[in-house]
Amino acid sequence: MDETPRSSVDYASNETAAALIRRANRILVVGSSGGGKSTLSRKIAARFDLPYVSMDREFFWLPGWVARERAEQRSMIAARVAEDRWIMDGSNPSSFDIRLPRTDLVIWVRLSRFICLWGIFSRAIRGFGRTRPDMAPGCPEKLPDGVFISYVWKFEERHAPIFIQNFERYGRGVPVLVLKSRRQMRHLLDLLDGEA
C-alpha cells in the first residue's frame, strides 16, 4: 500500500486561471518579496475593477515602520476578507485560516530567489526614500538589510511547505496558479488582455 502523502492542492494552468480570474470575486496573491506580486495584483485589479488590498499597506505597518499589533491586524483582515470583492496581495500565513476559505483563486508567484533578490534591490534603488503605493504611509523605501535579504533568500524553503499545508487545510477546492517566471506572468496578463 502506498502511504506517500498526496497533495490535495488543485493546481491550475494559466489558461484555466485566466478563465477563473475573469469571474472571480476574491483573489489571493502570495509569494516572496521582490517577485512582482504587487505589480501583478494591481494590473489584475485594474483590468477587472477589483479592489486592490495590500496587506503591508492596510494591515501590517503604521508610519515609521511600526508593526501594528497582531490582534488588530487579524481583526482588520477578517473585516476586509468578509467584503464581496477584492484582490489581496500578501503572503503572511498567520491569516490563511481567515483568507483562504473566502478565496476563489490563489496566485502563487514562485520565482527564484535570485530574481526576488534582484527585485528587492532594484525596487530599493528606484524608490529609495519614497513610499511605494503598496506600502503604508510614512514607510519610505530603504535599502535591504541582512535580515530582509536572508528572509528572501530562504523564503522558498521555509514558506513553500507552510503554504501547501495551509492550502490543504483551509483552501480545499481553491485552485492555485503557480507562476515560476516573469514570462509566465506576462503570458497570464496576455491571456487576460486577449479575452474580455
Residue 2 in any domain: the answer is no
Residue 80 in any domain: the answer is yes
Residue 4 in any domain: the answer is no
| pLDDT-based confidence at residue 133 (cuts at 50, 70, 90) | confident
| pLDDT-based confidence at residue 7 (cuts at 50, 70, 90) | low
9-45 tens-digit pLDDT: 778 888 998 999 999 999 999 999 999 999 999 999 9
The DSSP-derived string for the chain is: ---------EEE-HHHHHHHHHH-SEEEEEE-TTSSHHHHHHHHHHHHTPPEEEHIIIIIEETTTEEPPHHHHHHHHHHHHTSS-EEEE---GGGHHHHGGG-SEEEEE---HHHHHHHHHHHHHHHBTS--TTS-TT--B----HHHHHHHHTHHHHHHHHHHHHHHHH-TT-EEEEE-SHHHHHHHHHHHHH--
pLDDT of residue 56: 93
Q: Is the pLDDT of residue 6 over 80?
A: no
Of 73 and 195, the one with more pLDDT? 73
Residue 102 in any domain: the answer is yes
Q: Is the pLDDT of residue 132 over 80?
A: yes
Which CATH number characterizes residue 97's domain? 3.40.50.300
pLDDT of residue 185: 94
| Residue-range definition of the domain harbouring residue 62 | 10-194
Residue 3 in any domain: the answer is no
Average pLDDT over residues 122-128: 90
Residue 33 in any domain: the answer is yes
pLDDT of residue 14: 85
- The total domain count for the chain is 1
Q: Work out the mean pLDDT of the chain and round it to a whole number.
A: 91
